[in-house]
């Protein structure tokens, strides 16, 4: 029988397994139980396939398509904000997905300031959250209605960004994560697409528009390298569809034209799959964190520095009381 007094080498040598790594599993169980919230906003003028894209992304009818303007439906005079929530589940993970649509954006003859209702909505969500946070008795889990991601649809003109595009993105990229996409990419050939992308990226750079993932928030070399690759490939040129066709014995989502079937998830046809993987499978959590740790904190700091504390956000029209 030999007796050791441990630790033998001084310092902290471990003899055996403590079990600290199990905390990951403990956290995981807890988050699975509580579920997740995700709020996605789509902005772009009508007809760019916004609702279809969201439905394709989440493989579910979470956004109602407007089948053109019906006879008694008029184009809204101002930009409306319509938020619709659904709970979807996958692999035991429950997600409350809220899609915020912005009908009327860019559809008027005079589109001056059409971004204002959107900016107001985004700030209102920050305000709601802030009020909950400073409350005396706080909810355990503050309901999160803040916009985690704003997908901006660029019209596939093939030429340049429109003035409205740069105006919008310039003004909002500092309060929300903007992901620009080139909509209805099947109207361009692959070469046209590449050229258009280059031009768009150059313009975004020149205008100083920092879209998500923003360079300044890369946390370490690993992040930077992953995100650099994504930034090089953006804006993704996408096609959306909720119709299925049979191609080579498989059922695929696609658009059937007279000359062929555009397969939405085929990386040779368009970049939908890349967008989906980026948005949902790798950066979903990061989108929420950047919203919470950066955009929300910026808003909060601004509010706390203003004179006097809390005033309900009011404009000339409605007085919002969140009490």
Partner 1 sequence: MQKGKLTGLRATEKQYVGFATLPNQVHRKSVKKGFDFTLMVAGESGMGKSTLVNSLFLTDLYKDRKLLNAEERINQTVEIIKHTVDIEEKGVKLKLTIVDTPGFGDAVNNNECWKPITDYIDQQFEQYFRDESGLNRKNIQDNRVHCCLYFIPPFGHGLRPVDVEFMKALHEKVNIIPLIAKADCLTPNEIKKLKDRIREEIDKFGIKVYQFPECDSDEDEEFKQLDKELKECTPFAVIGSNTVVEARGQRVRGRLYPWGIVEGKFTNKFLCSVENQSHCDFVKLRNMLIRSHMHDLKDVTCDVHYENYRAQCIQEMTSKLAQDNRMESPIPILPLSTPDVDTEKLIKMKDEELKRMQEMLNKMQQQMHDKEQ
Looking at residues 223 to 262 of the shown chain, list those that interact with partner 1 (rule: CB under 8 A).
242, 244, 251
Query: Applying CB under 8 A, does 128 fall inside the site for partner 1?
Result: no
**Distance separating alpha carbons of residues 51 and 44, to the nearest angstrom:** 11
Q: Which residues pair with 314 in a beta bridge?
A: 319
Residue 285: partners with Cβ closer than 8 Å, 6 or more residues away: none
Contacts (CB under 8 A) with partner 1, residues 162-221: 219-220
Partners of residue 101 on adjacent β-strands: 42, 82
Pick between residue 22 and residue 318 the one whose CB is nearest to partner 1: 22
Nearest distance from C-beta of residue 171 to partner 1, angstroms: 24
Spatial distance between the Cα atoms of 215 and 212, rounded to a whole number of angstroms: 8
Per CB under 8 A, 304 contacts partner 1? yes
Q: According to CB under 8 A, which residues from 26 to 65 bind partner 1?
A: 26-28, 30-33, 36, 38, 55, 57-62
| CB nearer to partner 1: pick between 45 and 283 | 283
Q: Which of 307-314's residues contact partners 24+ apart within 8 Å by CB, and which partners? A: 310/131, 310/134, 313/120, 313/123, 313/124, 313/127
Q: Which one of residues 64, 202, 310, 320 is an interface residue with partner 1 (CB under 8 A)?
A: 310
Could you say which of 67, 91, 258, 317 contacts partner 1 (CB under 8 A)? 91
Q: How far is the CB of 317 from partner 1 (least distance, A)?
A: 16
Name which position in 113, 157, 194, 293 contacts partner 1 (CB under 8 A). Answer: 293
Count of residues touching partner 1 (by CB under 8 A) = 80
Asked if 233 and 240 touch (Cβ cutoff 8 Å), the reply is no
Judged by beta carbon, residue 60 or residue 166, the one nearer partner 1 is 60
Residue 160's CB: how many other CB atoms inside 10 A? 13
Query: Site map for partner 1, 153-172, x if CB under 8 A?
Result: --------------------
Cβ at position 17, least distance to partner 1 in Å: 7
Which one of the spans 69-77, 131-139, 160-168, 185-193 is the region binding partner 1 (CB under 8 A)? 131-139
Helices 190-206 and 163-172: crossing angle, nearest 10°? 50
DSSP string, 127-172: HHHHHHHHSSS--SS----S--EEEEEEP--SS---HHHHHHHHHH
């Amino acid at each position: 029988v030999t007796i050791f007094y441990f630790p033998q080498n001084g310092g902290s040598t471990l003899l055996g397994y403590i079990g600290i790594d199990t905390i990951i599993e403990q956290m995981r169980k807890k988050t699975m139980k509580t579920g997740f919230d995700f709020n996605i906003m789509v902005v772009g003028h009508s007809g760019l396939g916004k609702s279809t894209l969201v439905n394709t992304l989440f493989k579910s009818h979470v956004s109602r398509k407007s089948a053109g303007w019906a006879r008694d439906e008029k184009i809204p005079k101002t930009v409306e904000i319509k938020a619709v929530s659904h709970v979807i589940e996958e692999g035991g993970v429950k997600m409350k997905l809220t899609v915020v649509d912005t009908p009327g954006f860019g559809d008027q003859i005079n589109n001056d300031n059409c971004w204002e209702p959107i900016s107001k909505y985004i700030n209102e969500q920050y305000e709601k959250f802030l009020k909950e946070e400073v409350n005396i008795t706080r909810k355990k889990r503050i309901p999160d209605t803040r916009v985690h991601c704003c997908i901006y649809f660029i019209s596939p003109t093939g030429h340049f960004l429109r003035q409205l595009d740069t105006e919008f993105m310039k003004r909002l990229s500092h309060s929300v994560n903007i992901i620009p996409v080139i909509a209805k990419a099947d109207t361009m050939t692959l070469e046209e697409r590449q050229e258009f992308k280059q031009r768009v990226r150059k313009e975004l750079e020149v205008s100083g528009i920092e879209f998500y993932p923003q360079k300044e928030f890369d946390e370490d070399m690993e992040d930077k390298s992953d995100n650099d690759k994504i930034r090089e490939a953006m804006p993704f040129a996408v096609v959306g569809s909720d119709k299925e066709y049979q191609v080579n014995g498989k059922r695929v989502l696609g658009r059937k034209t007279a000359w062929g079937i555009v397969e939405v998830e085929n990386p040779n046809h368009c970049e939908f799959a890349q967008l989906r993987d980026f948005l949902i499978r790798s950066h979903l959590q990061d989108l929420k964190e950047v919203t919470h740790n950066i955009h929300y904190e910026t808003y909060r700091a601004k509010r706390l520095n203003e004179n006097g504390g809390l005033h309900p956000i009011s404009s000339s029209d409605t007085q919002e009381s969140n009490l």
